Chain A
Amino acid sequence: MSTVSADLERLDIVAVGHVDHGKSTVIGRLMADTGSLPEGKLDQVKAMCKVNARPFEYAFLLDALKNEQAQGITIDTARCFFNTPKRHYIIHDAPGHVEFLKNMITGASRAQAALLVIDAQEGVRENSKRHGYILSMLGIRQIAVLVNKMDLLDWDQEAFDAVTREYADFLARLGVRPTAFIPVSARDGANIVARAAEAPWYDGPTVLEQVEAFKSLDDDLERPFRMPLQDVYKFTASGDDRRIFVGTVETGRIRPGDGVVFLPSGKRSTVETIEALSGPRPDEAYAGQATGLTLDTQVYAKPGEMMVRADQPAPLVADRLRANIFWMATAPLVRGRRYVLRMGAARVPVELESVLSVLDSQELQSVTGAAQVERHDIAEVIFRSTRPVAFDAAETLEPTSRFVVVAGFDTAGCGIALEALPEAAANADGERRFSVGEVTDEQRAARYGHAGKAVVLVGESAADAHAVAASLERRIFDLGVHSYCLGATDLGEDKDVLGREAQIGRLGEIAWAMTDAGIVLVAALGDMDRFDLDRLRALAAPHEVFVIGRGDGGDLGADLDLPASLATEAAAEAALRALTAAGVLPEPA
Chain B
Amino acid sequence: MNQLETLEAKSVHILREAYRSLGNVCMLWSIGKDSTVLLHLARKAFFGHVPIPLVHIDTAYKMPEMIEYRDELALEWRLNLVVGQNREALAAKQTFPDDCVDRITCCRNLKTMALKHTLSGEWPRLRMDHTLGKLVEDEDLSPYTGVIVGVRADEEGSRSKERYFSPRDVENDWNVDDQPPELWRYFKTDFEPGTHVRVHPLLDWTELNVWEYIERENIPVTSLYFDNGEGIRCRSLGCYPCTTPVQSTARNVEEIIEELRSGKFSNIAERSGRAQDKDDGGGLESLRRGGYM
A14 touches B (CB below 8 Å): no
Q: How many A-B residue pairs have CB under 8 A?
A: 162
The digit string for A354-365, where 1 denotes a CB below 8 A from any CB of B, is 000000000000
Smallest CB–CB gap between B185 and chain A, Å?
A: 7
- For window 146-165 of chain B, which residues contact chain A by CB distance below 8 Å? 153-154, 156-158, 160-161, 163
Contact partners of B1 in chain A: CB under 8 A: 9, 218, 288-289
**Taking the nearest CB of chain A, how far is it from the CB of B41, in angstroms?**
10
B186 touches A404 (CB 8 A): yes
Query: Which one, A79, A138, A235, contacts B153 given CB within 8 A?
Result: A79
Evaluate contact between B160 and A9: CB separation under 8 angstroms: no
B9's partner among A231, A290, A340 (CB-CB below 8 A) is A290
- Which of A70-78, A306-314, A532-540, A547-555 lies on the face that meets chain B? A70-78
Interface members, chain A 377-410 (any B CB < 8 Å): 402-404, 406, 408-410
Instruction: Answer yes or no: A81 CB below 8 A from chain B CBs.
Output: yes
CB atoms of B160 and A65 under 8 A apart:
yes
- Across the interface, which residues of B come within 8 angstroms of A408, CB to CB? 190
CB–CB A9/B6 < 8 A: yes
The answer to whether A37 touches B267, judged by C-beta atoms less than 8 angstroms apart, is: yes
Number of interface residues of A (CB under 8 A): 65
Known: A8-B3, A103-B179. A238 touches B49 (CB 8 A): yes
Within 8 A of A (CB), among B189-244: 190-192, 203-204, 206, 208-209, 212-213, 215-216
Closest Cβ of chain B to A413, distance in Å, is: 10
| A231, B181: Cβ atoms closer than 8 Å | no
Residue contact B45 to A410, C-beta cutoff 8 Å: no
- Name the distance in Å between A139's Cβ and chain B's nearest Cβ: 9
Q: A231-B16, A290-B9, A292-B47 are in contact. Are A66 and B183 (CB under 8 A)?
A: no
Give the docked Cα–Cα distance between A246 and B43 (Å).
Answer: 14
Q: Does A242 contact B (CB under 8 A)?
A: yes
Q: Please report the C-alpha to C-alpha distance between residue A414 and residue B183 in the assembled complex, in whole angstroms.
A: 8
CA distance A7 to B7 in the complex (A): 12
Do the beta carbons of B176 and A76 come within 8 Å of each other? Answer: yes
Task: Please tell me if B177 contacts chain A, counting CB pairs below 8 Å.
Answer: yes
- Taking CB atoms and an 8 Å cut-off, the chain A residues in 74-104 that contact chain B are 75-81, 87-88, 90, 102-103
B177 CB contact (under 8 Å) in A76, A80, A105: A76
Q: How far is the CA of A406 from the CA of B3 in the complex (A)?
A: 31
A238 to B80, CA, bound (A): 12
B283 at the interface (CB under 8 A from A): yes
Which residues of chain B have C-beta atoms less than 8 A from A2's C-beta?
A: 262
Judging by beta carbons under 8 Å apart, are A277 and B43 in contact? yes
Task: Please report the C-alpha to C-alpha distance between residue A238 and residue B8 in the assembled complex, in whole angstroms.
Answer: 25
Which of B16, B48, B161, B191 lies in contact with A278, CB distance below 8 A? B48
Tell me which residues across on chain B come within 8 A of A105, comparing CB atoms: 181, 183
> In the bound complex, do residue B154 and residue A81 qualify as a contact, i.e. CB atoms below 8 Å apart?
yes
Binding site for A on B (CB under 8 A): 1-10, 12-13, 16-17, 19-20, 43-49, 51, 78, 153-154, 156-158, 160-161, 163, 176-177, 179-186, 188, 190-192, 203-204, 206, 208-209, 212-213, 215-216, 261-262, 266-269, 283, 285
24 contacts between A and B (CB under 8 A): A1-B261, A3-B262, A4-B262, A8-B3, A10-B6, A10-B204, A39-B267, A75-B176, A76-B176, A78-B161, A102-B180, A102-B181, A103-B181, A106-B181, A109-B183, A218-B1, A235-B49, A246-B45, A248-B9, A277-B47, A290-B13, A290-B16, A411-B183, A414-B181
CB within 8 Å of B: which residues of A? 1-4, 6-10, 37-39, 65-68, 75-81, 87-88, 90, 102-103, 105-106, 109, 138, 218, 230-231, 233, 235, 238, 240, 242, 244, 246, 248, 275-278, 288-290, 292, 303, 328, 340, 342, 402-404, 406, 408-411, 414, 496
Known A-B contacts: A65-B160, A88-B206. Give 5 more (CB < 8 A): A38-B269, A67-B158, A105-B181, A109-B182, A404-B183
